[in-house]
Every structure is written in structure tokens, then in C-alpha cells.
Amino acid sequence: MKLNEEEQDILAGKSGPVPQQALQHQIKVGEFFGAEDLVPVTQAHLMADTESLGEAGVRWLEGLAATPDGQRRVRIPTITDPRGTDFAKADWLGQTSAMLDLERRAISAFEALGVAMTNTCINYQTIQAPTRNEHVAFGDTGVVIYSNSICGARSNFEGGPSALAAGLTGRTPRYGFHLPEMRRATLRIEVEFTPTSLNGWGALGGVIGRIAGNYWAVPVIEGIEGAPKSDQLKHFGASMASFGSIALFHLAGLTPEAGHLSDVAIPGLPSLRVTRADIDALQRSYHTDDGVDVVVFSAPQLSLYELSDLAELCEGRRFKVPLLAVTSPQVKPDADRMGYTARIEAAGGHVLSGMCFYQSYAREISEARGWKRLATNSAKLVNILGGYGYRPMLASMEACVDAAVSGKLERT
């Protein structure tokens, strides 16, 4: 890879061992993908829940944090994805003191590195959305696909170690979606039905993710009616990224790079049709039981509008099974001020902050609380939780709230 003078100095250790190690990691990854050079980035977003880090990852971070001050801090705004817990609710979730200790150690190490603990996977709604052509190094796949597709920013999936490296060096290897030619569509999807519910948008994203199938695929989608809302596209993108490892899509006539189909697609690109039956089939395939042990709204964290809708649905209800709504630390104080938290809790629900359900020791929570049959309106969550020993079921927010009241999920 071509390195400029400043980068050569970093690599030679002139800024200390932490940026040096970060750049070595970036060169390893960059050379693997044939990157010619590094591109400056303006923001980094870092996924680092302790379930993924483990003891080994936390020790590795502590090693970086032990470097003398002045040689270890990030150079650009570097923020975090959800943590592995909400400390205020950890006992109720059945999380152990060992999990919380690990979490505290990780937080201390990140703070020593200058990382801002925003603990959110909806930073494009709560912190600062990137702008068109802005090169960034974002973690959480839902954040990357939204930033690339809806904002027109440029990011690859940057896992925790690479996002941290980008924070420490202020740059990232130029490959993948930093290159204009990689952002062109590789397949066309004609959608015959535009969902309205969040679970419907998530299911549509899941269907397209499965069709597109791998990271380098870029679907351009035609046939969407009206102007989808941020929360709808949030569920759509997060699910597509989860089901298919997709990092970029275009909506013809809607998203910034696809004003016209021909802006992103060459003539004769293969085209596939997605019908309402495909969307319904994906949802029905998860409906494997009528009983429900727990209801979870999470993945991505809920916006203020989603919490407002949920609070409305909780009015006058009394839950038989636990209901969890997970949001970001930026949204939670507003939900408290607006009275949404109180209304959800009055029905017996719980509003959690700064975590995300699947990043918070979901398997151990299942064992501690006896939760197996889980209803949610998040297609991303149902895709993930099968591997964690759950029987996840996908339904609308309304049907999930009804299930919390009755313990039964209605079939649709």
C-alpha cells in the first residue's frame, strides 16, 4: 500500500506504539483486499460489547489503555455501539457480576483511549448522521447500511478492532464501498408491495438480503411507493444487513445516489421480483409456537417515535409476560420527560437503555430467566436469536403488545 509521509511516520512508531499497531492492522486488512492507499475518515463508530470481546478482548484493550497519555487517544470523534448491559436493569436480566465487571473494565479502557461512550446503534438518528460522500469508519452493520444507502456516506463494515484503528489513525484502507465503482448496483429487485409496518419493512429487507446474499452485492430496488420514514428504513436496512451481510442498497428515485435507475445500474442487469407472499412467508416461517415467554423491542434501538407508539399501545394494558423496550442513552431521557417510559412501565414493561438485546449475553439471559419463545417486531433480532437458543417470532408492534398481555401470539 502507498503510504504518505505522515502514515510512514505512524508506521515507524513516531506517534507511539498504539497508532503504530493500529496502522499495522489496517495495512494487513487493506492488503488482503488490495487497497492502494488509506483514505481520511471523519468519524468512527465502534462495536465492542463484552460478550464479543471476552476476557481476551478486554485485556487487549487494557494493554492499549496502559500506554502513556499523549500516545493513545483517538484523533477523530469515535463513538460506541450498545454495551452488554444496562447497569440499572442487570439484576433483573439475570446478568452476573462477572459480566458487569468485564463491562466496567472495557468502559475504563475505552475512556482512556478517548472514545465517547454513546452506546447507540442509531447514531444516524441520535448523534450525527454522516453526509453524502463523507468517508467514515462505522461498526454495527445497521449503521453502515443506513449511512451508505440513505445518507450516501462511504463506509465498509468496520469491526471493533478496525473502527478503533480508524479512530486512532484518522484513516482507513481504501477498498470496498469507499470506491465509487464498488457502489454500483449488482442486481435489480422489483418490489410489488410496499410495507407499512416496521416488521413488514424488516421482513422485506430480510427477503432481499437472502437474495443478494453477500457483502459485495449491491441491490437497487424499484417499486417502493411513497417516501419511507427513517424508522422504516432503519428496520429495512438492519434486516438486509443481517440476513445478507449487505452494506449498501439503492432505492431508485429515492436514495441520494440513485435519482435515476441508470445512475447506478447498467442496462441488462439481472432483475428479480419480490411479492407480498415472499414477505409473508418469511414472517410465517418464524411463527413456530402460539405461546410467548417474553416480548422484546430492540435491534435496532428504538427511536423516540417508536417509544411514543409503544407507549400509546400500552395504555390501559397489563402484561402477563415481560416486555422489554431497548433504546439509546440519548433517547431515554426524552422518553422519560415525555412520560413514555412511565406509560410503558405502568403496564408492566421495562425500558432499557444503552444496550441491545442480542449483544447482552442473550443466551445467559435465556437460561437465567427461562425465556425461549420470544416475540419481536425486529426481523434482525429473529434472524440472530435462533443461534442463541431462542424460538424468535416476528410480528407487528401491536401483535407483540397483545402477546405480552395474553401470553399468546395471534397467527396472521
Partner 1 sequence: MSGKIFRARHAMGRTVRGPALVANDGFSARYDLDRINGIFSRPSHKLAGQSYVGKILVLDTAKGGVATAWMLHEMTSRGIVPLALVFNSVNPILAQGAALGDVPMLAGFDRDITAAIASGAEVEVNPEAGLLTVLG
Residue list 123-142, contact with partner 1 (CB under 8 A): 139-141
With binding defined as CB under 8 A, does residue 384 bind partner 1?
yes
- Is 119 in contact with 82 (CB distance < 8 Å)? yes
Q: In this chain, which of 167, 176, 206, 349 binds partner 1, going by CB under 8 A?
A: 176
Cα–Cα distance between 247 and 319 in angstroms, integer? 37
Q: How far is the CB of 25 from partner 1 (least distance, A)?
A: 6
With binding defined as CB under 8 A, does residue 231 bind partner 1?
no
- Is 304 in contact with 391 (CB distance < 8 Å)? no
CA atoms within 13 A on the CB side of 211: 26
For 242-354, strand residue ranges (E) read: 250-251, 271-274, 294-302, 323-327, 350-353
* Sequential DSSP letters for 337-400: HTTHHHHHHHTT-EEEESB-GGGS-HHHHHHHHT--EEEES-HHHHHHHGGGT-EEEE--HHHH
- Part in contact with partner 1 (CB under 8 A); list of ranges 90-98, 150-158, 309-317, 339-347: 150-158
CA atoms within 13 A on the CB side of 266: 5
Q: Quick one: 157 or 236, whose CB is closer to partner 1?
A: 157
Q: In this chain, which of 94, 159, 291, 407 binds partner 1, going by CB under 8 A?
A: 159
With binding defined as CB under 8 A, does residue 55 bind partner 1?
yes
With binding defined as CB under 8 A, does residue 387 bind partner 1?
yes
| Burial state string for 384-402 with b = 16 or more CB within 10 A and e = fewer than 16 | bbeebebbbbbbbbebbbb
With binding defined as CB under 8 A, does residue 215 bind partner 1?
yes
With binding defined as CB under 8 A, does residue 47 bind partner 1?
yes
With binding defined as CB under 8 A, does residue 99 bind partner 1?
no
- Nearest in space to 321 (alpha carbons), one of 223, 393, 239: 393
- Is 219 in contact with 208 (CB distance < 8 Å)? yes
- Nearest in space to 353 (alpha carbons), one of 363, 341, 362, 365: 341
Q: How far is the CB of 61 from partner 1 (least distance, A)?
A: 10
Kindly determine how many residues on this chain lie close enough to bind partner 1 according to the rule CB under 8 A: 45
Cα–Cα distance between 410 and 258 in angstroms, integer? 39
Site string for partner 1, 24-43 (x = CB under 8 A): -x--xx--xxx---------
Q: In this chain, which of 99, 102, 241, 355 binds partner 1, going by CB under 8 A?
A: 241
With binding defined as CB under 8 A, does residue 63 bind partner 1?
no
- Is 143 in contact with 123 (CB distance < 8 Å)? yes
With binding defined as CB under 8 A, does residue 281 bind partner 1?
no
- The residue type of 57 is G
Residue list 345-374, contact with partner 1 (CB under 8 A): 358-359
Q: Quick one: 39 or 261, whose CB is closer to partner 1?
A: 39
With binding defined as CB under 8 A, does residue 60 bind partner 1?
yes
Q: In this chain, which of 18, 19, 38, 57 binds partner 1, going by CB under 8 A?
A: 57
Peptide bond into 195 cis (omega under 30): no
With binding defined as CB under 8 A, does residue 214 bind partner 1?
yes
Element (H, E) at 5: helix 5-11
Q: How far is the CB of 126 from partner 1 (least distance, A)?
A: 19
Q: Quick one: 45 or 250, whose CB is closer to partner 1?
A: 45
Q: In this chain, which of 42, 108, 245, 406 binds partner 1, going by CB under 8 A?
A: 245
Cα–Cα distance between 127 and 352 in angstroms, integer? 19
Q: Quick one: 54 or 333, whose CB is closer to partner 1?
A: 54
Q: How far is the CB of 137 from partner 1 (least distance, A)?
A: 10
Q: How far is the CB of 384 from partner 1 (least distance, A)?
A: 6
* Sequential DSSP letters for 367-380: HHHT--EEEES-HH
Q: In this chain, which of 19, 82, 161, 349 binds partner 1, going by CB under 8 A?
A: 161
Q: Quick one: 123 or 156, whose CB is closer to partner 1?
A: 156
Cα–Cα separations (whole angstroms), residue 121 to 170, 185, 383? 21, 26, 17
Q: How far is the CB of 221 from partner 1 (least distance, A)?
A: 20
Q: Quick one: 213 or 407, whose CB is closer to partner 1?
A: 213
* Sequential DSSP letters for 43-87: -EEE---HHHHHHHHHHHHHHHHTSPTTSS--SS-EEE--BS--G
What residue ranges bind partner 1 (CB under 8 A)?
A: 25, 28-29, 32-34, 47-49, 51-57, 60, 139-141, 156-162, 175-176, 213-216, 241-242, 244-245, 247, 358-359, 383-384, 386-387, 389
